[in-house]
Structure 1
């Protein structure tokens, strides 16, 4: 497991990890020194030397100052360790987020967004909190145990050996009995929490349908069932976490009994030193075993993180020629099949000349949206190629192509921000004059002027304060704001009423008349939505 964790870390993280490990080692030494500082007090008390009370008080004051200084250093060293763990969490979470995003649309559509979000946020945090932290904690406490046992063996071999004979067999027995169960509990809890998140998100998104159907009770029942399982699982885990306290106390009592039964010499002094050592060893052993329990329970996160950060985000090919679009988009012998082997089309040929208005028609399942995803570079063809002014479109250079295109899907992506932020999506600062200009072009200027805060008005979560027609116009305005030369319109009016659809189509027609160089590629079911197109490409005829 340690080898796997080490393999996940980058070279820079490993170097920083050495500093964190050194801080753990220093903490163990300081804790050992704190226990050792109590021994002189014990010796003075047991031997009751003359002039003792004043000397004892002075010695206690000196030890107190040392303990305060030691604990101040321990706090600083603990901060070094915590900062490192949180830096790993931040970097892993960011890498996983970027990797999942850059794996592309095909990957994202094949996964649950709730699951991916859970892994990016919760699993990476759990890895830092319940894997890295226990490893450091176990290393520090084991070092402390080693120092104390070694010192005890050197000073009084019998006491040290009895301590080992009592502690280690019980710890080994505990580890052997619960290891597999704890790993299983961790996996079961992860899956249960994923289902809980999915249940909540689905209920909130499907509120109208659930309310009309009176079906919320099914979501609530599923939530209750999942919560019951999580509670039962957590109770089982916490029972196992109580065992270390019991085992360590049994070990100490057994050790004292053996020491008294077999020891010789000054049993009072030896027992006192044994008790002082046990005073710190009990929480140390308890911490080791509890950290081990936590590590086993969260060990599944190692596999999730390993898979999530394994791919580095694709970058633009160095020296790639920027795209220009002055002539045509060409599809030559294009074919595409999904990873499961399902083929949509083969040997597809199409040429779209700059400034044309092309409609794409076909029955449901004919591959209209897939064709768009291919032309946008989201999917990679399994056969043939796509050329933009003669330059082949590939995953490595598609970023240059995206600078020239606008995309208006059926469900417009609305961020939880202002109107200006949504129009100038991805820009650090919106050009407000340009935003008003494009809003006028899509006939939304009067509406924007009437908003309570104008361009700074929040559009709500997922655009909850917008009508369907307003969302589509915002999608078009977004494409115009970035000066798109090609506008892909993917069944964007299919969910609108006929009047709003006519208004959107009229707005598109006016845009194409005003901007002769603007190329429109439109997918639609209704013939009326394709009426303004120069020609229609029928996928059913081409398949």
Structure 2
């Protein structure tokens, strides 16, 4: 019921369309109920008249009325089928929008624990049946209720004994439907889960297709896909077995119902308690009575498909973001860039601390380098500044303001990040650079590209800034992608800059070229550099050596070399490798 209540809320923006749809459904049901009444009137009152001209006159009147009714029925059916479905499609689109918007609010920790392919399945596959449920659900229930109630009242007036037989079989069918309804709900949920697993394998395999081919492991990927595909087939097979028993069982009970009514009706006619014309009308009304029941039976499958998809939708939509704006959070615009870590500790999933009691003070405009072994927490420390993760203890301030008291949007707008793993969106070079500041002019985009030393290369391409970069920028080299990402940050023009091993994946020539762009980008900005190649940070204002035990050393390059500690060891080791 909780899920259904939340589902009903999505009707609110379309309530006028909904009530119009229900009015058309009411009109359509009323017309369908009138037809057997008219047939009974013709059989019992009109066709027994002795005057043929009188019969023709009645038939013309009744025929004209029926024609008018079916013209009205045509327009009602048209509205239900077209605008009713459009309403359902709009609700589905609203849910998909809400889901995508909510996914944008969730923090990195959520995505660390959830597969992208499975999330895509919830956005796309799980909501496919929502549209049909949103449209047909209330309509089928409404029409069925009217037809069942109306036809039952009329059936009682024709012959109450036959109606008791009818009710017995109806109760049996309702119990039978309830029993299989529970089974279908379980198997449809399994279907959702298994197709999500298939989507996850597909997304993972296609995203890493170059790795797959480089290791010639196509057969392994095919085997992984086939395993998930066959598991999905098994759940589909189970669902169709249950559906087969469900629908065939209900058809069997309907057949028994007709058989019982015909046999009992014959006995009642022979005893004089029922007219043969009334039996004909009764059988017509049985069809009117059973059609909505059959519609409800079919609706149970549709309901289970739709509601299981909606429940999986709710699982995500009800996940509360663990990082949100505090009440009363303020915007910061162009901060000076003074950053301070005060007794900061952090752990993933409440396990052992990755960072423990970190204290760092960075003055505005200074360049701070973070080095140390993998797993020491360098990237994690930098990820805490834009609140990609929430600190466990302590505080981080910018210009003396706790970052938790700053709105996320203004905080992140003040920080630019250049990473080792550059992500370019499928689109043009212009669109990827403009991602740094949506709405930037062409002149501003070009200026940013020039400062990143990528403009001349872009102009050498046939389509210039309108060149399509491919998925994840696959058509560009690593150095070219990196410079486009730098141009993106130039355009953003943040006060604080984070360089996360931005040149470690490049060759020496590309590194030197890009290092100039990074030095230009870092001017007059508070900069944190995570470095693998220590030669790039010799001129840093301060170098901090961070290990899994915390801050082990800090100072300028010369000081740390003279000290002969961890930094000196790492620096000399790299120097020997180069030699």
- Deviation of the 1:302 alpha carbon: 3.9
Cα distance in structure 1, aligned partners of 2:490 and 2:514: 14
Cα distance in structure 2, aligned partners of 1:384 and 1:166: 70
Q: How does 1:323-402 map to 2 (within 5 A)?
A: 323-326=333-336, 328-394=338-404, 397-402=407-412
Give the corresponding residue for 1:489: 499
SS at structure 1 position matched to 2:404: coil
Cα distance in structure 2, aligned partners of 1:94 and 1:412: 27
Q: Indicate the larger mover: 210-219 or 352-361.
A: 210-219
1:254 to 260, 266, 281: 260
Cα distance in structure 1, aligned partners of 2:251 and 2:387: 59
- Deviation of the 1:481 alpha carbon: 0.5
- Deviation of the 1:361 alpha carbon: 0.9
SS at structure 2 position matched to 1:542: strand
Give the corresponding residue for 2:124: 121
Q: Deviations over 1:129-150 (max 9, x none)?
A: 3477435423432332122112
Q: Does 1:236 align with 2:238?
A: no
- Deviation of the 1:316 alpha carbon: 7.3
- Deviation of the 1:44 alpha carbon: 2.1
Cα distance in structure 2, aligned partners of 1:56 and 1:415: 71
SS at structure 1 position matched to 2:422: coil
Counterpart contact for 2:436–2:491, Cα < 8 Å: no
Give the corresponding residue for 1:275: 283
Distance change (3 Å), C-alpha of 1:338 and 1:227:
closer
SS at structure 2 position matched to 1:37: helix
Q: Deviations over 1:181-219 (max 9, x none)?
A: 212211211111011111211221222222233322232
Give the corresponding residue for 2:35: 37
Counterpart contact for 1:421–1:430, Cα < 8 Å: no
TM-score by length of 1: 0.90
SS at structure 2 position matched to 1:411: coil
SS at structure 2 position matched to 1:394: helix
Counterpart contact for 1:359–1:533, Cα < 8 Å: yes
Counterpart contact for 2:329–2:407, Cα < 8 Å: no
SS at structure 2 position matched to 1:376: coil
Q: How does 1:451-466 map to 2 (within 5 A)?
A: 451-466=461-476
Give the corresponding residue for 1:500: 510
1:147 to 147, 150, 159: 150
Q: How does 1:301-312 map to 2 (within 5 A)?
A: 301-310=309-318
Counterpart contact for 1:28–1:144, Cα < 8 Å: no
Q: Deviations over 1:35-82 (max 9, x none)?
A: 313432454256443423564355334313311212312332455543
Distance change (3 Å), C-alpha of 1:286 and 1:222:
farther
Counterpart contact for 2:362–2:368, Cα < 8 Å: yes
- Deviation of the 1:370 alpha carbon: 1.0
SS at structure 1 position matched to 2:129: helix
SS at structure 2 position matched to 1:508: helix
Give the corresponding residue for 2:189: 187
Q: Indicate the larger mover: 294-303 or 401-410.
A: 294-303
- Deviation of the 1:374 alpha carbon: 0.2
- Deviation of the 1:311 alpha carbon: 5.5
Give the corresponding residue for 1:291: 299
Q: Deviations over 1:462-498 (max 9, x none)?
A: 1111111111111111111011222211122222223
Q: Deviations over 1:324-381 (max 9, x none)?
A: 4225111111111112423111110112222222211121111111111101121111
Cα distance in structure 2, aligned partners of 1:249 and 1:68: 33
Distance change (3 Å), C-alpha of 1:306 and 1:533:
same
Q: Indicate the larger mover: 60-69 or 473-482.
A: 60-69
Q: Indicate the larger mover: 412-421 or 301-310.
A: 301-310
Counterpart contact for 1:331–1:387, Cα < 8 Å: yes
Cα distance in structure 2, aligned partners of 1:254 and 1:471: 77
Q: Indicate the larger mover: 380-389 or 334-343.
A: 334-343
TM-score by length of 2: 0.85
Give the corresponding residue for 2:487: 477
Distance change (3 Å), C-alpha of 1:174 and 1:282:
same
RMSD over aligned CA atoms reads 2.8
Counterpart contact for 1:469–1:504, Cα < 8 Å: yes
Q: Does 1:519 align with 2:526?
A: yes
Counterpart contact for 1:199–1:222, Cα < 8 Å: yes
Q: Does 1:542 align with 2:548?
A: no
Give the corresponding residue for 2:555: none
SS at structure 2 position matched to 1:322: coil
Distance change (3 Å), C-alpha of 1:105 and 1:125:
same
Give the corresponding residue for 2:576: none
1:530 to 527, 537, 541: 537
Q: Deviations over 1:54-113 (max 9, x none)?
A: 643553343133112123123324555434433332222222222222121111222111
Q: Work out the number of aligned pairs and report it.
A: 537
Distance change (3 Å), C-alpha of 1:476 and 1:9:
farther
